[in-house]
Amino acid sequence: AEDNEGTVKQQLSKLFETSLRMTIPDEPDLEPLVVKCTGKFGDYQCNNAMSCWAKVKGKKTEFKGPPSIGQAIAKNLPESEMIESCSIAGPGFVNVVLPNQWIAKSIQKMLERGIGIWAPKLPVSRAVVDFSSPNIAKEMHVGHLRSTIIGDTIARMLEYSNVEVLRRNHVGDWGTQFGMLIEYMFEKFPDWENAGEQAIGDLQAFYKASKLKFDADPVFKEKAQQAVVLLQGGNEKYRKAWSTICEISRKEFHQVYERLGISLEEKGESFYNPYIPKVLEGLSNQGLIVESEGARVIVIEGKQIPLIVVKSDGGYNYASTDLTALWYRLNEEKAEWIVYVTDVGQKLHFEMFFTAAKLAGWLPADEKLYPKTSHVDFGLVLGDDKKRFRTRSSEVVRLVDLLDEAKTRCKAELVERGKALEWTAEELEQIAEAIGYGAVKYADLKNNRSTNYTFSFDQMLNDKGNTAVYLQYAHARICSIIRKSGKDIEELKNTGTIVLGLPEERSLGLHLLQFAEVVEEACLSLLPNVLCEYLYNLSEHFTRFYAECKVNGTPEETSRLLLCEATAVVMRQCFHLLGIVPVYKI
């Protein structure tokens, strides 16, 4: 960790901070505004001159305008090996060019010590990421796929940034639907205690059948409602029946997680149930909960409807559970950042109970401060017809079927390319899986999550364009360049030197160096597509480099092989953060 010097932006910011203090001594708290250059006059620029001018204008000062402040900021920069030259542009922007040698040295250091030294430093040390969170007895559908994929990536990015992440599966295991499910199980499978799991089998069909009966048969309905009361009252038989049903769902969910390489810990709605009364009592004592039409509610200013926390029948709901879970995460788990990943349809729910938590003083009103909550929302998954993704028989699409198909298609493609003859059956299987599942994930992650996205196998499995398949090929090609050199890359890391001679080498090097700040941005904005864009651009930088710079058998071979290796390392780290298994040959 001592090797981690911070992102380029942070390192430059430190230098500019010193300079600003010298330039405008009356304003010791100026925050340096350092950004990547858009133009070609530098790599980074400091944009403080204008706002500094606004502060000193009218006072007795040596400055004649923003450009002269810019000059002074540049002049006052401390001596540093990371600055090649400075120039002033427009209204006082200070452009900085980084020295090739420094870029090269930083990359080499990463190769020696590992990509961990490029981890961004975030302002929190423990976070909850609440994601996936399907509902028991209902199939996991593509919406849950989005939550699972996006949430896992966010968790991975935070973990890489040395944040302790509590990965939480907030499964819907405590609804009124359990009354009918339990009664139906009693009726259909009297032997449920011994053979319930095997007998029920397809839980979704079971759910449908019991719902039909619930709607059609008033006597059954009455019984089901009684069952809810018994279950929530802690009746042993009903508790046992409930957990039998949950267990079936759990196994199904688990299969999907395993295939996608996702780890998360289940703390379902039922977990928080015992804490609800106390939490609501606290809020009541603060005068936040009032009576409204028989229900107990929290009034949220500016919203049409209040947040219901106790229904008129006395039962708790989604909101009472979420408020309590938030209380638990803040107070028992000491999380500083609580991130929820669900479809945009739940936006209002999150806004409402986040506001309630602020009213209660659990969270600071200022959004920039921690502890903090964030709702990571996402759009719909659409089919080719641009309508909500459904199968031909208009059923919801089963997640496992999608994964199966992605893999099958990849395998067929690889067989067609003759790989079945080259590789072992096991390799074929593994690589088809890595490419297929990776493609499904990447297709989801590469779009800004708030937009709807169209699910298309043809598109996501294309080996050209911004797809995981293309990126896997790009990475495998780099690995093959290194292999073909016959050089021991581990040894080169210790003995060789990177020299950034040609412009293509330099821009590749600079892009590599910007990895840390891209991950930082993706974390703070909770936008995985920022990382995807970086990865795709990296492969393009590499393509331009490789078109101009011969590697094997040239005098620059060592340096260029090291650049290849650095590119491969950063690509693999991107893959890792996106939950994609890299392949080393295709």
Interacting residue ranges for ligand ARG, rule: CB under 6 A: 130, 133-135, 170, 172, 322, 325, 340, 342
Are 568 and 458 spatial neighbours (Cβ–Cβ below 8 Å)?
no
Please state the closest distance from residue 202 (CB atom) to ligand ARG, in A: 20
Whose CA is closest to 103, among 6, 8, 13, 2?
8
Q: Which is nearer to ligand ARG, 322 or 433 (CB)?
A: 322
Q: Which is nearer to ligand ARG, 66 or 172 (CB)?
A: 172
Q: Which is nearer to ligand ARG, 213 or 449 (CB)?
A: 449
Please state the closest distance from residue 377 (CB atom) to ligand ARG, in A: 11
Please state the closest distance from residue 341 (CB atom) to ligand ARG, in A: 8
What Rg do the C-alpha atoms of the chain give, in angstroms?
28
Per DSSP bridges, beta strands 164-169 and 93-97 are unpaired
Which 3 state secondary structure label does DSSP give 443? helix
Q: Which is nearer to ligand ARG, 373 or 567 (CB)?
A: 373
Q: Which is nearer to ligand ARG, 144 or 475 (CB)?
A: 144
Please state the closest distance from residue 146 (CB atom) to ligand ARG, in A: 11
Q: Please, what's the b/e burial string for 322-355 (b: 16 or more CB within 10 A of its CB; e: otherwise)?
A: bbbbbbbbbeeeebbbbbbbbebeeeebbebbbb
Please state the closest distance from residue 324 (CB atom) to ligand ARG, in A: 10
Please state the closest distance from residue 170 (CB atom) to ligand ARG, in A: 4
Q: Which is nearer to ligand ARG, 329 or 411 (CB)?
A: 329
Q: Which is nearer to ligand ARG, 48 or 342 (CB)?
A: 342
**Residue 73 to residues 37, 47, 226, 323, 586: CA-CA distances in angstroms?**
17, 10, 75, 49, 51
Please state the closest distance from residue 347 (CB atom) to ligand ARG, in A: 12
Q: Which is nearer to ligand ARG, 148 or 558 (CB)?
A: 148
**What secondary structure letter does DSSP report for 370?**
S
Q: Which is nearer to ligand ARG, 346 or 447 (CB)?
A: 346
Distance, in Å, from the CA atom of 89 to the CA atom of 309, rounded to the nearest integer, reads 57
Q: Write the DSSP string, 65-109.
A: SHHHHHHHHHHTPPP-TT-SEEEEETTTEEEEE--HHHHHHHHHH
Per DSSP bridges, beta strands 307-310 and 337-343 are unpaired
Q: Which is nearer to ligand ARG, 15 or 307 (CB)?
A: 307
Give the list of residues 6+ apart from residue 45 with CB closer than 8 angstroms, or none. Answer: 34, 35, 36, 37, 89, 93, 94, 95, 96
Please state the closest distance from residue 397 (CB atom) to ligand ARG, in A: 15
Q: Which is nearer to ligand ARG, 34 or 356 (CB)?
A: 356
Please state the closest distance from residue 169 (CB atom) to ligand ARG, in A: 9
Centre a 10 Å sphere on the Cβ of residue 54 and count the other Cβ atoms it contains. 10
Distance, in Å, from the CA atom of 519 to the CA atom of 525, rounded to the nearest integer, reads 10
Are 345 and 99 spatial neighbours (Cβ–Cβ below 8 Å)?
no
Q: Inter-axis angle of helices 49-56 and 66-75, to 10 degrees?
A: 110
Strand partners, 118: none
Q: Which is nearer to ligand ARG, 134 or 196 (CB)?
A: 134
Which residue's entry shows tokens 């938590």?
A: 357
Q: Which is nearer to ligand ARG, 70 or 172 (CB)?
A: 172
Please state the closest distance from residue 158 (CB atom) to ligand ARG, in A: 17
Please state the closest distance from residue 526 (CB atom) to ligand ARG, in A: 15
How many helices (H) and strands (E) the chain has is answered by 24, 14
Please state the closest distance from residue 172 (CB atom) to ligand ARG, in A: 4
**What secondary structure letter does DSSP report for 361?**
T
The reply to whether omega before 371 is within 30° of 0 (cis) is yes
Distance, in Å, from the CA atom of 191 to the CA atom of 85, rounded to the nearest integer, reads 80
**Residue 537 to residues 15, 116, 531, 567: CA-CA distances in angstroms?**
28, 21, 10, 11
Please state the closest distance from residue 131 (CB atom) to ligand ARG, in A: 8
